[in-house]
Amino acid sequence: MKIRKGDTVLILSGKDRGRKGRVIETFPKKGRVIIEGINLRKKHVRPKRSGEKGQIVERPAPINVSNIKLICSKCGKATRVGYKTEGKKKYRICKKCKGEI
Ligand SMILES: [Zn+2]
């Protein structure tokens, strides 16, 4: 998967379209990521002990990587990701500015 934890991405679809956020978790097998503050879902939390109140918390739900685009840390543009190998080292490059991401 081309998106990694800590990347800043642009949301391309859904109610958060056009917003940017930081990737806080990735699920490479499912092709999904969780982005900070994006795709929030309300979740009802039941009280753990009697006397405690249940509450509603908002948590970001995973979104498909096809619905996001990486924002290059070098040029700041939403871009596609390429790969470059030098010897044994493989790294990601921005398709727009060719900079290492
Ligand atoms: Zn770039």
Q: pLDDT-based confidence at 63, cuts 50/70/90?
A: very high
Across 4-17, average pLDDT: 96
Write out pLDDT tens, residues 30-47: 999 999 999 999 999 888
Q: How high is the pLDDT of residue 50?
A: 84
Note the pTM of the prediction, 2 decimals.
0.85
Q: How high is the pLDDT of residue 37?
A: 96
Ligand 1 centre distance from Cα of residue 97 (Å): 4
Q: For residues 19 and 44, what is the distance between their CA atoms, to the nearest angstrom?
A: 26
Ligand 1 centre distance from Cα of residue 67 (Å): 19
Ligand 1 centre distance from Cα of residue 74 (Å): 5
Ligand 1 centre distance from Cα of residue 72 (Å): 5
Q: How high is the pLDDT of residue 48?
A: 83
CB atoms within 10 A of CB 62: 16
Ligand 1 centre distance from Cα of residue 50 (Å): 54
> With 90 as the cut, is the pLDDT of residue 49 above it?
no
* Nearest alpha-carbon partner for 58 in 41, 70, 46: 41
